[in-house]
Amino acid sequence: MKAIRPWSARAWLATAHVMTGPPVAFVLAGLTLVLAVVPPALRVGMPWLTRVQRSRFEAFLGVRIPPVPAAPTLRTSSLWRQIGYHLLSPLVAVVSAVMVALVWAGGLVGVSAFLPPLVQPPPLIFPIDLRDPVVLAVYIALGLLLLFLAPILARAMAMLDLSIARTLLGPSHQELGQRIETLTESRAGVIDAADAERRRIERDLHDGAQQRLVSLAMNLGLARATLRDLPEPAREAIERAHEESKQALKELRDLVRGLHPAVLNDQGLDAALSGVAARAPIPVRLRVDIERRTTPTIEAVAFFIVSEALTNIAKHAAATRAEVTVRRERDRLHVLVYDDGCGGARLDGGTGLRGLGQRIDSVDGTLRLHSPLGGPTTIEVDLPCE
Amino acid sequence: MRVVLAEDSVLLREGLIRLLEAAGMRVVAAVGDAEQLLRAAAEHRPDLVLTDVRMPPTHTDEGLRASLVLRRAQPSPAVLVLSQYVEERYAAQLLASATGGVGYLLKDRVADVDEFIDALRRVAAGGTALDPEVVAQLLLRGHSDPLDRLTPREGEVLQLMAEGRSNAGIGRQLVLSEGAVGKHIGNIFTKLDLSPAEGDHRRVLAVLQFLKIRSLP
């Protein structure tokens, strides 16, 4: 534990925590006993009592104790752990408060020994001759020592209380395990939903805006080709509209392709990646060995890994060639992207690779980057398929 | 020229009909899915089939599959496939089935009316029309292969041949005389080991070799 000075804010907060302990604990223990008269009331009331203690820990110690879900039945273990804490805490709180108060008081008495006897305790209790300078010196030294010990003790007691509270008021291992399970499931749901949403937007744009734009561009093209005897300004306006509609088509196509390439759905990773590899400005050797197609989400993640990695290589690596290998081994999909560029790629550097890491994390995949300065760079990704 | 048209968007189907008829072609059937396309093609025996890739019921690549079926039929009609995206894999599948009378273009190309009509006529006459984007994708691929022996200029010429241009067309595009284009093409044939015995067919063979090497993984 870091030594804390008696006059620091932390020392006062820890002391305040310990000193507010007994009154709060006694009131809450009393209320617990009252609620226990009608057991079902415990289920409703306990979260409120616990909330009081949690806010005390947060206010004085700056520590947030993770909340537990409301107990569904009277037999829920978290409910009984909370009751246990509220009944045990008066004892802990009183012992702590008394110890801390005694040490503070001893320290104050010690350092105030040089004051006139009026403010000194009566000599009945302290049969020590304070007029002897040596005794006085020892007395003050002891007082100072206690004064320095007091905040440490207060802190120690507060930490003891905190660890008990964490165990009894916070979620148990089992509850945390369940929570992780729920989170994992809901995360997978969110990711699948996001992926499905991208596919839906892609399809909507394909069926709607893109067709309409093609039709518009075609009509403008037809007008441009047939209306040759129009006045110059009108012809120019048609020409400009025609060119702009074609540009809009191209931009929309690039956008939609980035959302979700249709060929990925139709023919899988091999076909989609061969398009990506072909569009890369450097030679890319592509090997895809997948017997059974994986889920659409994993396919999409693998696709974006390769296309992001190749984009990064084109932008930063100054490579002359790259290699992409995608291989499925039972329930794992291995993706390896190699380039002979200048190396020095970092996961926390540009946005490209960081985004990659996030996407891989989101499906519980692993990413290994080997990129010494001077190259070559290898990105190895391992994704679960099932 | 008699055309069967398959396109699921009514808007675009109507527009294409107008466009084709304005160019003096006859649309003998205009349908909205692949199954009807196969039926219409069998019934009307058109000079050209013009089809979208993505159509009902699955909205994936049924237009392409139907085209592959048509290409295997005897006699097979010329097929021009239009798509919102060009994918080299689709191009490879289309081209692998037979030689000549095949095209694969981005839908955007219908906006350049004259060039589009040219492409339709070329395909109907047994030629090829490949979207410059597909060709660019194929050209970018850098396996070690006989094509590496071509000079950049010869590569450009071969690319334009693959798009289906004539020597005169290639000359105009690259600002070369027709004679110079002929010389480049001669070099390409030599480098790709195509003997004169193969005659005019060499042009198609060169393009095919180019496409095969570039598009197969």
Q: Do residue B94 and residue B195 come from a single domain?
A: no
Chain A nearest C-alpha distance from B73 (Å): 23
Chain A nearest C-alpha distance from B171 (Å): 24
Q: Taking 50 as the threshold, does the pLDDT of residue A1 lie above it?
A: no
End-to-end CA distance of chain A: 46
Question: pLDDT per residue over A49-103, tens digit each?
Answer: 888 888 888 888 888 877 777 766 777 777 888 888 888 888 888 888 888 888 8
Q: Do residue B164 and residue B114 come from a single domain?
A: no
Q: Taking 50 as the threshold, does the pLDDT of residue A294 lie above it?
A: yes
Q: Do residue B89 and residue B27 come from a single domain?
A: yes
The least confident of A8-12, A158-162, B1-5 is A8-12
- Answer with the one of B67, B101, B131 that is the final residue of a domain: B131
Chain B nearest C-alpha distance from A272 (Å): 8
Q: Do residue B114 and residue B42 come from a single domain?
A: yes
Question: Mean pLDDT across the stretch A211-215?
Answer: 93
Q: Do B111 and A218 lie within an 8 Å CB cutoff?
A: yes
As a whole number of angstroms, the distance between CA A124 and CA A156 comes to: 33
Name chain A contacts of B141, Cβ cutoff 8 Å: 277-278, 283-284
- pLDDT reported for residue B16: 94
The average confidence (pLDDT) of chain B is 83
Question: Mean pLDDT across the stretch A263-272?
Answer: 84
**What Cα–Cα distance (Å) separates residue B179 from each residue in A271, B153, B172, B201?**
39, 14, 12, 19
HSE-CB at A283 with a 13 A cutoff on CA atoms is 11
- pLDDT reported for residue B217: 42
- pLDDT reported for residue A199: 86
Chain A nearest C-alpha distance from B87 (Å): 6
As a whole number of angstroms, the distance between CA B13 and CA B8 comes to: 7
Q: Do residue B60 and residue B20 come from a single domain?
A: yes
User: Residue B152 domain-assigned?
Assistant: yes
Tell me if ipTM is over 0.90. no
| Three-state DSSP state, A331 | coil
What secondary structure letter does DSSP report for B31?
E
Residue of A214, A263, A282 lying closest to B89 (CB–CB): A263
What secondary structure letter does DSSP report for B76?
P
Question: pLDDT per residue over A111-121, tens digit each?
Answer: 776 665 555 55
- pLDDT reported for residue A291: 80
As a whole number of angstroms, the distance between CA B73 and CA B96 comes to: 14
Q: Do B113 and A277 lie within an 8 Å CB cutoff?
A: no
What strand order describes the sheet that includes B2-6?
Answer: B26-31, B2-6, B48-52, B78-83, B102-106, B128-130
Q: Taking 90 as the threshold, does the pLDDT of residue B194 lie above it?
A: no
Question: Mean pLDDT across the stretch B70-91?
Answer: 85
Q: A218 to chain B: nearest residue by CA?
A: B111
- Answer with the one of B108, B131, B154 that is the final residue of a domain: B131
Name chain B contacts of A261, Cβ cutoff 8 Å: 85
User: Residue B136 domain-assigned?
Assistant: no
- pLDDT reported for residue A382: 93
Question: Structurally, how many domains does chain B consist of?
Answer: 2
- pLDDT reported for residue B143: 45
As a whole number of angstroms, the distance between CA A107 and CA A357 comes to: 56
- pLDDT reported for residue B97: 65
Q: Do A218 and B140 lie within an 8 Å CB cutoff?
A: no
> Distance from CA of residue A285 to its chain's centroid?
37
The residue among A199, A210, A215, A327 with the most chain B CBs within 10 A of its CB, best to mutate, is A215
Question: Mean pLDDT across the stretch B14-27?
Answer: 93
Q: Taking 50 as the threshold, does the pLDDT of residue B192 lie above it?
A: yes
Q: Do residue B105 and residue B176 come from a single domain?
A: no
Name chain B contacts of A272, Cβ cutoff 8 Å: 87
Chain A nearest C-alpha distance from B147 (Å): 14
Q: Do residue B95 and residue B164 come from a single domain?
A: no
As a whole number of angstroms, the distance between CA B52 and CA A59 comes to: 67
> Distance from CA of residue A42 to its chain's centroid?
33
Residue of B61, B85, B90 lying closest to A257 (CB–CB): B85
Residue A86 tokens read as 């509220």
- Answer with the one of B79, B96, B131 that is the final residue of a domain: B131
User: Residue B43 domain-assigned?
Assistant: yes
Which pTM was predicted?
A: 0.63
- pLDDT reported for residue A114: 66
Q: Taking 90 as the threshold, does the pLDDT of residue A348 lie above it?
A: no
Left (φ > 0), alpha (ψ -120 to 50) or beta: where does B131 sit? beta
What CATH number does residue B156 fall under?
A: 1.10.10.10
- pLDDT reported for residue A306: 92
- pLDDT reported for residue A237: 94
Judge whether B59 is closer than 8 Å to chain A, CB to CB.
Answer: yes
What CATH number does residue B19 fall under?
A: 3.40.50.2300
Domain holding B97, by residue range, is 2-131
Q: Do residue B100 and residue B165 come from a single domain?
A: no
Residue of A246, A262, A279 lying closest to B108 (CB–CB): A246
User: Residue B67 domain-assigned?
Assistant: yes
**What Cα–Cα distance (Å) separates residue A358 from each residue in A305, A385, B27, B102?**
11, 17, 52, 44
Residue B37 sits at the vertex; the CA angle it makes with B32 and B40, to the nearest 5 degrees, is 115
Q: Do residue B11 and residue B105 come from a single domain?
A: yes
The least confident of A2-11, A205-214, A346-355 is A2-11
As a whole number of angstroms, the distance between CA B38 and CA A356 comes to: 44
| Bridging pattern class, strands A332-339 and A377-384 | antiparallel
Q: Taking 90 as the threshold, does the pLDDT of residue A335 lie above it?
A: yes
User: Residue B169 domain-assigned?
Assistant: yes
As a whole number of angstroms, the distance between CA A69 and CA A16 comes to: 29
Q: Amino acid identity, residue A182?
A: T
Task: Give one DSSP letter per residue of B77-109, joined into a string.
Answer: PEEEEEESS--HHHHHHHHHH-SSSEEEEEGGG
Q: Domain A263-384 is of which CATH architecture?
A: 2-Layer Sandwich (3.30)
